[in-house]
Chains A and B, each alone.
Chain A
Amino acid sequence: MVVLGVHPSSARAANESCDRACLNGFVDQYLDAVVAHDPSRLPLAPKVKFTEDGQQLELGDGFWRTASDRGTYKFYMDDPVAGQVVFFGTMREAGTPVSLVLRLKIEKRKIAEIETIVVREGMNPSRPTDTGAESFEKLGGPDPLFLETIPPAERVSRDELARTANKYFSGMQQNDGKGDYSFFADDCSRIENGMQATRGTDTMASGSSQRNSSSYGALAGCKAQFQSGLLHFVTRIRDRRFVVLDTEHGVALAFIFFDHAAGNTRTFQTPDGKTVTAGPTTPWTWEMAEAFKVEKGQIRRIQAIFHRCPYGMNSGWSTWADAMSDKARW
């Protein structure tokens, strides 16, 4: 038997807490087992639950059948307090690059919860061959800022961290450009499925082309995009589950759904008086995991992995009422 470099279940006693190295070790162990199509080698809690793309499956089904290798992009986000870890990474599925979100909850050195999103070819009809994986691998790794520790004197509580990150969702939902967006740092930038979704920083956001744009994506920084009021078509950001609150690094991560009702909310007025029609023309939901780097009460970096899912879908981890609510939970 090949002994893995990190083997959390045997390396330490079962009743010890699981620190960052331990949590990351579970991720590696899990992904190696997936590629080997062999869940039997995992230390599983008796009632372990597994979902892929919001659907509860038997362990061994879904991506377990088709995964062929690990990729090179690896971004671990740990919450030792909650015993949870979320991994953004790339994998190969029958040789094709795919992007993966993996959440593990560890209880007494056993895997109790497994939540995955696999972004595959064809799941995003507007970019049918783009899984985001190649873009992620070109980036090489997470933005180094995510990995920097916050000086102890500047660390905030878990509640404060979640509240700051949640302002992003509240500011985007039915965005009208009139909110207080001071929670964005001037150098805030966002990466979505490996692609840069902001075009610079808000310190660059000047000039007539910026002011006259009718597409938020053409705007420079995080704050400028929100101030434009052009994201109004994001009707509802719901089922906001903050599952990683890492106060040491100022990292918050939430699973969420972005609903676009695509009805009369498509036409709206921006703060500068323009009437704009934008957004999907059919009911559209993004299933998403989104990470935030928060420093001094402001969001500096955002990174998301997502794909389209049935409109209004549940994550498999919430009641229907919670799944439809835009209230944040942690």
Chain B
Amino acid sequence: MRARFVIGCILGFLLFACAAVHPRRAIAAGEPCDRACLTGFVDQYLAAMVAHDPSHLPLAPNVKFTEDGVPLKIGDALWATATGLGTYKLYFAEPAAGAVGAFVLIQENGTPAILELRLKVVNRRITEIETLVARKETTNFLNTDNLTEPRPIFLETVPASDRPSRQEMVSMVSKYFDGIEQGNGDVVPFDPDCIRIENGVQTCPSSASSALGALSCGAQLNTKIFTYIQSVSPRRFPIVDDERGLVLAIVRFNHPGSQQTVEVPGHGKMTMGRYSQWPNSTEIAELFKIKNRKIKEISAVIITQPYKAPTGWE
């Protein structure tokens, strides 16, 4: 299959000067789309987007496209503004579901931003395109300086004998969101050395000089400083990549804005951060690395949204 794939690419390149990977030509429509096939769709999508030309994409007739939760015509929004790609490309896939996703660094009129892309592929056609774009205009924190290569742990393969079921993996990740809602890190199966990177910024344990920021991911939850997040709802788990121990969750954090302060055990009363000062939500695409049945690392793409704005897929 790989040989046919490469040949397809070469033919595609010669005939159409198209993207280097061209899955539609490489494999017949009836065959299953494996990891390489699925990631090929991502490459093709990204190349088309930077070229501002969706016309050669293998789209299903009723394909649905959203950017930042808003249904749009393909060709609009980031399709008009993307000017290049960086080297940072983190892919994950669930071939049994025809699902593939990516976190990639993009250039938009020369300014870096982080794109989260989710595709669903059915019969070699793209049926769903869901994107979030973390831009300096759409989020309160963003640092793309270190986004050159994916962190290696996300690429590690989990031994076949040590792969939890889809249901188990989703359950572990959902407990993370339960822990945020409850202000209780003890209910979350964290690896003690878990780290979380959000929009390129490590937030637990964070390098910030604050005493709370330096705490572990679980201990941070126990301080109650996240109780301004009233609910994590809705929650979706569209991609579970069991081969690599990865779960992609797409969720909305709801901040009603009515909690201005919190009592932190051992620290006293603290004023909540900016997010707590008025009603707003954040839409988050969050990738979890599960290793030894613990959450080992978290990488998130986050945008600020109007309070309770739909993600477009509920």
Chain A residue with Cβ nearest B82: A263
A209 interfacial contact with B, CB 8 Å: no
A97 nearest CB across to chain B (Å): 12
Q: Which residues of chain B in 192-216 are interfacial with respect to chain A, using CB atoms and an 8 Å cutoff?
A: none
Asked if B256 is at the interface (CB within 8 A of a chain A CB), the reply is yes
B43 at the A interface (CB under 8 A): no
Q: Does A311 contact B (CB under 8 A)?
A: yes
Kindly state whether residue B77 has any CB partner on chain A within 8 Å: yes
In the assembled complex, B309 has its CB within 8 A of some CB on chain A:
yes
Selected interface stretch from A27-35, A166-174, A277-285: A277-285
- Known A63-B279, A65-B257; contact A313-B136, beta-carbon cutoff 8 A: no
- Known A-B contacts A55-B309, A282-B137; the reply to A120 vs B278 at CB < 8 A is yes
Q: Is the CB of B69 within 8 A of A310?
A: yes
CA distance A94 to B278 in the complex (A): 8
* Residue A81 is within 8 A (CB to CB) of chain B in the complex: no
| Bound Cα distance A261, B109 (Å) | 12
Q: Are A310 and B258 in contact (CB under 8 A)?
A: no
Kindly state the separation between the CA atoms of A310 and B135 in the bound complex, as whole angstroms.
12
Instruction: Give CA–CA (A52, B279) in the complex, Å.
Output: 10
- B274:A122 contact, CB within 8 angstroms: yes
**In the complex with contacts A65-B279, A312-B67, A53-B306 CB distance below 8 A:** yes
Question: Which residues of chain B are near A282, meaning CB under 8 Å?
Answer: 81, 108-109, 111, 113, 135, 137
> Which residues of A are found within 8 Å of B67, using beta-carbon distances?
283, 311-312
Let me know if A311 and B77 touch, CB within 8 A: yes
- Interface presence of B51 (CB below 8 A): no
Residues on B with C-beta less than 8 A from A98 are 278
Asked if residues A310 and B71 are in contact (CB atoms below 8 Å), the reply is no
A72 within 8 A of B: no
Q: Which residues of the other chain, A, contact B306 by a CB distance below 8 angstroms?
A: 52-55, 309-310, 313
Residues of A within 8 A of B72 (CB): 311-312
Main SS class of interface, B: loop
Measured CA separation A264–B109 after assembly (Å): 10
C-beta contact mask, B276-314 vs A, less than 8 Å → 1, else 0? 011100000000000000000000000001111110000
B70 touches A262 (CB 8 A): no
A234 to B235: give the CA distance in the assembly, Å: 35
**Is B76 close to A, CB under 8 A?**
yes
Instruction: Check B111 against A281 for contact (C-beta < 8 Å).
Output: yes
A311 proximity list for chain B (CB < 8 A): 67-68, 70, 72, 77
Residues B52 and A263 in contact, CB atoms below 8 Å apart: yes
Bound form: Cα–Cα A232–B309 in Å: 29
* 62-77 of chain A: CB within 8 A of chain B: 62-63, 65-66
Is the Cβ of A261 less than 8 Å from the Cβ of B278?
A: no
B132 to chain A, nearest CB (A): 10
Question: Are A262 and B68 also in contact (CB < 8 A) when A66-B278, A283-B77, A312-B77 are?
Answer: no
* Cβ-based interface call for A204 (8 A): no
Q: How far is the CB of B185 from chain A (nearest CB, A)?
A: 27
Of A53, A61, A262, A308, the contact of B109 (CB 8 Å cutoff):
A262
Output the nearest chain B residue to A122 by Cβ-Cβ distance: B274
Bound state CA distance, A313 and B308, in angstroms? 13
Question: Which of B137, B140, B258 has the most chain A CB atoms inside 10 A of its CB?
Answer: B137
Expressed in whole angstroms, the Cα–Cα distance for A98 and B279 within the complex equals 13
Check: B10 CB closer than 8 A to any chain A CB. Answer: no
Tell me, yes or no, whether A134 is within 8 Å of chain B by CB. Answer: no
**Interface size on B (CB < 8 Å)?**
38
Q: Of B52, B81, B274, B310, which one neighbours A262 at CB under 8 angstroms? A: B81
Asked whether B78 is an interface residue with its Cβ less than 8 Å from the other chain, the reply is yes
- A57 interface contact, C-beta 8 A: yes
Nearest Cβ on chain A to B243's Cβ, whole angstroms = 34
Q: Would you give the 0/1 interface string for B119-155, flagging 1 where the beta carbon is closer than 8 Å to chain A?
A: 0000000000000000111101000000000000000
In the bound complex, residues from chain A placing their C-beta under 8 Å from that of B87 are none
Given known contacts A52-B279, A312-B67, A281 and B309 CB-to-CB distance under 8 angstroms: no
* Chain B residues whose CB sits within 8 angstroms of the CB of A330 once the complex forms: none
| Distance, CA A264 to CA B53, complexed state (A) | 13
User: Is A263's CB under 8 angstroms from B256's CB?
Assistant: no
Is B80 at the interface (CB under 8 A from chain A)?
yes
Question: In the complex the two chains form, is A121's CB within 8 Å of B278's CB?
Answer: yes
The answer to whether A261 and B307 touch (CB under 8 A), given A62-B279, A66-B278, A282-B81, is: no
User: A53-B306, A93-B278, A282-B137 given as contacts; is B69 within 8 A of A263 (CB)?
Assistant: no
Alpha-carbon separation in the docked complex, A313 to B277 (Å): 23
Q: Which residues of B contact A122 (CB under 8 A)?
A: 140, 274, 278
A68 shortest CB reach to chain B, Å:
11
Q: Hey, which chain A residues are within 8 Å of B137, CB to CB?
A: 125, 282, 284, 308
Q: How far is the CA of A62 from the CA of B254 in the complex (A)?
A: 10
Q: Write out the residue numbers on chain B whose beta carbons fall within 8 Å of the beta carbon of A65.
A: 256-258, 279
Q: Tell me the minimal C-beta distance from B33 to chain A in angstroms.
A: 30
| Nearest CB in chain A: distance from B199 CB, A | 15
Q: Which residues of B contact A314 (CB under 8 A)?
A: 70
Specify the chain A residue showing the minimal Cβ separation from B283. A310
CA of A121 to CA of B69, assembled, Å: 22
Partner of B70, one of A52, A96, A261, A312: A312
Q: Which 5 A-B pairs have the closest CB atoms?
A: A263-B80, A281-B109, A53-B306, A65-B258, A312-B70
For this complex, 13 residue pairs linking A to B, each with C-beta atoms less than 8 Å apart, are: A53-B307, A54-B306, A55-B309, A55-B310, A57-B308, A62-B279, A66-B278, A261-B77, A262-B80, A265-B80, A282-B111, A283-B81, A320-B71
- Known contacts A66-B279, A312-B76, then 15 further A-B pairs from the complex at CB < 8 Å, ordered by chain A residue: A54-B306, A55-B306, A55-B307, A61-B279, A62-B256, A62-B279, A263-B52, A264-B52, A281-B108, A281-B111, A283-B77, A310-B305, A311-B67, A311-B77, A313-B70
